[in-house]
Amino acid sequence: MKATEYIWMDGELVPWADAQVHVLTHGLHYGTGVFEGIRAYETDNGAAIFRLTDHMDRLVRSAKAIGIPLDYGVDELVKVSKEVLRVNGLISGYIRPIVFFGTGAMGLNPAGAGVHVAIAAWEWGAYLGEEGLKNGIRVAVSSWRRIGHDAFMPNAKVTGGYVNSVLAKTAAVRAGYDEAILLNAEGVVAEGSGENLFVVRDGIVLTPPTSAGALDGITQDSVRTLLVDAGYDVREATITRTDLYYADELFFTGTAAEVTPVREVDDRAVGTGNPGPVTRFAQKAFMDTVTGQNERHADWLEYA
């Protein structure tokens, strides 16, 4: 990754290399942190951060879910994120806020461990490769199941929970695929390792609900809205592994992944093997919106 100049940490901008933590940080030992991923795009009116307030709302919700007291409110976090982009001279990029328990307490009870908040930003290109964005990626259903509501919170962006995603992602890459799809404990589709999933069949667009183990993705919500605006029938639904094989089109959505077509699942071509019309429409509508070319959702853009 390409370093930028400053990272905001606990109330001040510090040089990138100085944004360090102690090895006895609670969040490092037990995964007691929450984070976000946000993208900023270049527009005619400067850098626009996509749904920044919605991302910070989710950060605050995630912190609440695992009981991290947060001294900063959404408005302050929004303000700081814009500042981090500006001081680093970024006109587009990826913003990573993180909140975690620090030092002062060992053992599972974090009482006494301070809370740290940091916001970094850097340039980040196509998450699943330029080629993948253009022609689609190859995915495999993982042997790892998505963490469930019975033992964890798939719908909170908790650092510790991402070990589940890392296991699925690395196994998929080792086996020669680009990305993994995770089923939940009931054997139905939850999402990708770091993306939500959409399935198109017979003109109907389906996506798994949070109850299936998906994150309530902000890109998922945006793409769903853009498709509905255009008259598509979009539904939250239970999706089985067979539904993946019978799909006319499959695509992932995520802040990092944007709208990435899936051209193969478990070595079976998806539809024709090329990104289909709904996928292409979703990709274009999303990119137009984030770059300020969709008046209808101008309120999703927050200028740095």
Joined together, the tokens standing for residue 186 give 């009931």
| Residue among 225, 197, 227 at smallest CA distance from 300 | 225
Catalytic residue among 64, 79, 82, 157: 157
Q: Which of 6, 25, 34, 37 binds ligand PPE (CB under 6 A)?
A: 37
Instruction: Name the residue type at position 201.
Output: R
| Residue among 81, 137, 84, 90 at smallest CA distance from 258 | 137
Q: Which of 47, 85, 215, 239 binds ligand PPE (CB under 6 A)?
A: 215
Smallest distance from ligand PPE to CB 153, Å: 12
Smallest distance from ligand PPE to CB 223, Å: 9
- Pattern 257-286, binding to ligand PPE, x per CB under 6 A? x-----------------------------
Q: How far, in Å, are 30, 154, 164, 204, 280 from residue 138 at the CA level?
A: 33, 24, 20, 22, 17
| Residue among 179, 278, 177, 296 at smallest CA distance from 231 | 278
- 194 interacts with ligand PPE by CB under 6 A: yes
Q: Which of 165, 207, 283, 289 binds ligand PPE (CB under 6 A)?
A: 165
> Do residues 273 and 250 lie in contact, with contact meaning Cβ atoms separated by under 8 Å?
no
**Segment lying near ligand PPE (by CB under 6 A), choices 69-77, 230-238, 249-257, 288-296:** 249-257
The bridge status of strand 258-265 relative to strand 137-141 is parallel
Q: Which of 102, 136, 254, 292 binds ligand PPE (CB under 6 A)?
A: 254
| Residue among 84, 38, 80 at smallest CA distance from 59 | 38
**Segment lying near ligand PPE (by CB under 6 A), choices 4-12, 131-139, 190-198, 286-294:** 190-198
Smallest distance from ligand PPE to CB 106, Å: 27
Q: Is 157 a catalytic residue?
A: yes
Smallest distance from ligand PPE to CB 76, Å: 21
Q: Given the complex with ligand PPE, which of 88 and 255 has the nearer CB atom?
A: 255
- 178 interacts with ligand PPE by CB under 6 A: no
Q: Given the complex with ligand PPE, which of 206 and 218 has the nearer CB atom?
A: 218
Residue 231: left (phi > 0), alpha (psi -120 to 50), or beta? left
Q: Given the complex with ligand PPE, which of 9 and 256 has the nearer CB atom?
A: 256
For ligand PPE, the binding residues (CB under 6 A) are 37, 165, 191, 194-196, 215, 217-220, 253-257
Residues with a catalytic annotation lie at 157
